[in-house]
Each structure stands twice: as C-alpha cells, then as structure tokens.
Chains A and B, each alone.
Chain A
Amino acid sequence: MSEVSSATAEMEAIKKKRHWPPELNALIGLIGIAIIFEILGWAIRDQSFFGSLTRLKIMILQVSIIGIIAVGVTQVIITGGIDLSSGSIVGAAAMISMSFAQIGTYPKAVFIDLGWVDLPIIIPIAIGLGCGLLAGLINGILIAYTKIPPFIATLGMMVSARGVAKWWTKGKPVSFPTDEFAAIGQGMTPVIIFLCVAVLFYLILRYTVYGKHTYAIGSNQDAARMSGINVERHLVLVYTIAGTLAGLAAMVLAARGLTAQSGMGVMYELDAIAMTVIGGVSLAGGRGSVIGTAIGMLIFGVIISGFTFIRLDAFYQEMIKGGIIVAAVVADVYRQRRRAMES
C-alpha cells in the first residue's frame, strides 16, 4: 500500500516538474537577459547596467504605458482572440480626450472648434475612457455576433480608429492640458497606474467568475457554451475592457508628453502583444496570467534600455525586437506541440 502511494507521489512530482508555469520560464529569461546586459555593461561601458536608479526609472516608465494596454490584450489572448486595434485606439482616445483637457491660457493654441477650456478633469478622463470603451465594444460585438475572426475585426478598428485620430483635429496636434490632467502622466504616476491596473486584473482573472469564464472560453469554447456560459456576451465584455484600458493608456501617454498627436500609439498593439506572449500567455488561448505579462513587460524594458545603454543603433534595436517577438511565438508553438504530444 505504501509502495503504491509513494509511486503515485513520485508520478505527481514528475508531473509537477514537467508542467511548471510558463511565467517561470519568462522570469528565468528576464534574469538571464538582465545578467547579459550587466556583463555587457561592464565589458563595453565599464559601468553597471542596474547600478543607475535613473536608468531603471526610465526603463520602467517606458514600458508601463504599453503595459496598461498589455493587461487588456492578455485577457483577449486568453480567450483565444487577438487585438490589433489598441495602438490606434490610443491615438484616437488621446486626441479626443486631450481636446477636452486644454487650458485657456494660450487661446491661439486651443483646439477652437470646441472652445471649451479649463474643464474639470473628470470630463476628459470620462471621454478618454469612453472612447476606448466604445471602440472595444464595437470590436466585441463584431467578433461575438458576426463571427468574423478577431484578427479581421480588430484590423478594421486599427485602420478606422487611426482615421478618427486624424479626422478629429484635421491632423493638428493638441497641446497644453490643464495641470490636473498633466499630472496623470508626470513622475512615476504611469507606473503606479500600471500597477493598480495589473493588480486589479490579476485578482479579477484569478478570483472571479469573469476570469474563470475567460479561461474556459479560450480553453474550449464549445465546452464553455455547453456549460451555459454566454460566450458572446462574455467576449463583448473582454474586448470592451481591453479597449477601455487602451483609452486609459492614451490619457497617461498624452498627459506625459503634454500633447496629443494623431500618430500616437503606432505599433503599440504589437508591443503589447509581444509583452503578453513573451510572458507566457498562449496565443492558442486558455493559458497565461497578468503576472506573466508583467514579466514580459520587464523583459521588453530591459532589452530596450539595454540596447540603448550599450549604444546599439536604433535600427538594429528594431530588427532584434522583431526577432524576439518571433522567438517568443515559436516557443509558444513548441510548448503547444509538446503538450499535444503528451496528451
């Protein structure tokens, strides 16, 4: 009897070892990359990469705004979908909310078609979140009820939302926000906002019905439907949340730069997807977590500031960034194949 139980325990141990969470892989990757840059730092520049607090601050600031978007994208990818529109939603939401956040001190610079200045901060915030929410809602309704692939639906939104961003001011940038609005993006506030968003959605995904259904839909949509989950309604909710978070990121970005331009957020959707996938969220759906995405975000940050630190040309940076994204997806596909072979 004891032999049997010890054999079972052994099997369990093997299983546990083999099925360690992908977040752990990402964390090991993060540490590895950090060590590489630390060594390179000493070798090339004769100084520590992590020794500078300013550098670390800049590093985390650079990625935390895209990190806010990535938290939404994580949920979308867990359902087995994809969101290509978040970068353009950032552009549109930034332009529109900024035009309601302007200060009256410089009348010539004010986006005069509206002529509303010095509005209480709640108005531009509500409008910015509302823009993201609306775009996400349209994404969700298209995907859930017309059954077109998420790739196509959000690709359409990507193009259209960029159009909205340009049309809103006929291409002119919007600047000079009120002090209160600008405060959203100053100092370490973007990082704090990211942390709040990440913790909130980590808890929601882990401990609520919403989270359970998100994983179930990505895992086996038919099973989810047969179990009585309203799959369509849930997908609409997931895409709406992702859009709203893109709207939030837009305001942080605009407030930080004190200006909004129609070209803001270009390629952010891909960076957000990359952070998510690097963090171990499976593109096949059903697996991953906000913690993984946060680690993926840090990997992204270390790589970008690391390249700058060793004075690698920006062109090479982009080339290598593309390679890293592909490598993360290859790793995901490999994981899936191995899992399929095991079962």
Chain B
Amino acid sequence: MSDTILETEDLTKHYGGVHALESADFVLRKGEHVAIMGDNGAGKSTFVRQITGVEQRTRGKITFMGSEVNFAGPLDAREAGIETVFQTLALADDLDVPDNLFLGREKILVNLGPFSILDYRGMRKATEEGLKKTAVKIPNINNAIRNMSGGQRQCVAIARTATFHSKLTIMDEPTAALGVQETEQVENIIRTLKDNGEPLILISHNMRQVFDLVDRIIVFRRGRMVANLMKEDTDGQDVVAYITGAKTGAEYVGAP
C-alpha cells in the first residue's frame, strides 16, 4: 500500500437532508492521473471539497500519504501538500507572478515578525524553476496578473503546485473558461505533471480532454460513485451511459 497517495473510505457528506455524497471509496496511486466526471450536482465538487478541507465531512475516513488526515481548512490541506486549482482563481490581480505564488508563505530574508524583509530574489528564482518544471511560458513574470490573459492566469495558478513540490494536485474544471489555445497550454502543463510523476485529480466535463490526459475515469451520479474505469477499457459512449444513468458499474450495482 506504500504507493497509495490518497484513499477515502465511506466518505459521506449530507447537507441537512440532501445526500450530496454517499459513501465514496476511492484510491489514488503514485503518479496516477484520475478524472472525475458526472452531471452538475452529481457530487464531484462535494467530493473534492471534503478532501481539501473546504467543508467538513459527515462521516468517512481520508488517508493521505499513509496517514489518516482531518483537515480543519484548505490551508491545512495545502500545508500537507494538496494543492487545489479552483474554478475561481485565487490570485491577487495587482501583484506579479512570484508574489502570487508565494502569497501567504513568502520567503524571508530577515525575520522581523509582520515586518519581515522579503527575499525577492529567492522567490523569483523559485518561480522560474517552477515555471520551467511545468513548461509554462510567461513573457514577464514581473508583470501584474491583471495584465495577463485568462490562460496565463490559469497557468500561474497551476504553477503554484510545481513550485511548492505538492504531493497531490486537484484541478476543478481548469479550462472551463478558456479559449482553444489557452486550453492547450493548460493541457500541456498537465502532461508535464504526468511526465514528472505527479498525481492529479481532474474534474472536467470535456470528454476529449479526459481521454487525452488521464489514466482512469471515475463517474459520479446522484452523490454516488457509479463507475471506476481504466481509460483503455472504455470509450466516450460508455462514459456517457454511466453519467446519464443508463449503465451502472458492476461493483456499484445496488446503488440507487
């Protein structure tokens, strides 16, 4: 079990009477890229929110890097090495790329409490390395985020994961708002992550993208996991059948 990055057992979330997520058992192995698909409201984002500590689960167990975890908030998850790229980008528009990558965890030259002096050179260097690692091309990293295209912003958000040597990256529809070229740019970064052996959970509605990028596809329907498919054993038609409920995976029969 040493190659297991993340494991959830019986992960469940109820919002009052709404069963948004019902006993999800999930395993992510080293270097694996997994897509999570499903209709709107199927429980994809709920599932991710339990893992990243944005919400507190109703019941169930989460094991990350071999030990059980209970994140009090998204910061705890980030500390532990789970980096999330949200649909709504959490970037400060007036700051430049290194500032954004290191926001809240700045490199310090001289420690003077809140007035600690910033290590600009160190942050710049680490940023350049992170960008190189993810093959992100940004013409001028000292440019404010405000002056960048949507794709470049998304790349900056993703580059955070590489800069901090995160152990798991989660992306929630990273290309939903992007154009064709920008989408390609983001997909290239994802391929680089794959080549580097960094595990990824990708939420996406884009069938082509999913088949292009990941090893395994998980389908959620009405708060339940209904399929766990290796890419080689399935095709687009098949996945759609699971998403719409025309088909249910053998091991999940009995689910409503």
Interface residues of chain A, those whose CB is within 8 Å of chain B, are: 8, 11-12, 15, 19, 204, 207-210, 212-213, 215-216, 218-220, 222-224, 226-229, 234, 237, 286-287, 339, 342-343
Contacts and interface: CB of A to CB of B under 8 A. Distances in A.
A237 B112 CA distance: 15
Contact of B115 (A208, A215, A286, A342): A208
A223 to B, nearest CB: 4
B104 A210 contact: no
Interface string B133-162: 000000110011011000000000000000
A218 B94 contact: yes
B147 A19 contact: yes
Contact of B103 (A11, A204, A223): A223
B86 to A, nearest CB: 8
Given A12-B140, A15-B143, 19 more contacts: A12-B139, A15-B147, A207-B117, A208-B112, A208-B114, A208-B115, A208-B116, A209-B118, A210-B115, A215-B92, A220-B91, A223-B103, A224-B103, A226-B74, A227-B105, A234-B114, A286-B93, A286-B94, A287-B94
Contacts of B93: 219-220, 286, 343
A14 B115 CA distance: 35
Contacts of A287: 94
A226 B103 CA distance: 9
The majority secondary structure among interface residues of chain B is loop
Given A15-B143, A209-B118, A223 B92 contact: yes
A227 B95 contact: no
A342 B92 CA distance: 17
A212 B106 contact: yes
B114 A237 contact: yes
B75 interface: yes
A-B residue pairs, 3 tightest by C-beta: A227-B104, A228-B104, A286-B94
B117 A216 contact: no
Contacts of A215: 92, 94-95
Interface string B99-113: 100011110100010
Nearest to B116: A209
Contact of A286 (B89, B90, B92, B117): B92
Interface residues of B, number: 29
A207 B119 CA distance: 8
A212 B95 contact: yes
B78 interface: yes
Contact of A223 (B91, B105, B117, B146): B91
Nearest to B153: A343
Contacts of B114: 208-210, 213, 234, 237
A219 B95 contact: yes
A224 B94 CA distance: 12
B99 A212 contact: yes
A286 B78 CA distance: 25
A219 B106 CA distance: 17
A161 B82 CA distance: 48
The majority secondary structure among interface residues of chain A is helix
A339 B146 contact: yes
Contacts of B91: 220, 223
Contacts of B78: 228
19 contacts: A15-B143, A15-B147, A19-B147, A207-B118, A208-B112, A208-B118, A209-B106, A212-B118, A213-B114, A215-B94, A219-B93, A219-B95, A224-B92, A224-B103, A224-B104, A227-B105, A228-B104, A286-B93, A342-B147
A226 B118 CA distance: 20
Contacts of B99: 212, 216
Contacts of A342: 147
B85 to A, nearest CB: 12
Given A215-B92, A286-B94, A287-B94, A209 B108 contact: yes
A216 B103 contact: yes
Contact of B92 (A208, A210, A220): A220
A148 to B, nearest CB: 24
Contacts of B94: 215, 218-219, 286-287
Most buried by B among A11, A12, A286: A286
B28 to A, nearest CB: 23
A12 B147 CA distance: 11
Contacts of B90: 220, 222-223, 226-227
A222 B74 CA distance: 13
Interface string B210-225: 0000000000000000
A201 B103 CA distance: 20
A287 B114 CA distance: 20
B176 to A, nearest CB: 18
Nearest to B106: A209
B146 A212 contact: no
A260 B101 CA distance: 49
B117 A208 contact: yes
A222 to B, nearest CB: 7
A210 B95 CA distance: 14
Nearest to B107: A209
Contacts of A209: 106, 108, 114-116, 118
A276 B95 CA distance: 20
Contact of B146 (A218, A226, A343): A343
Nearest to B109: A207
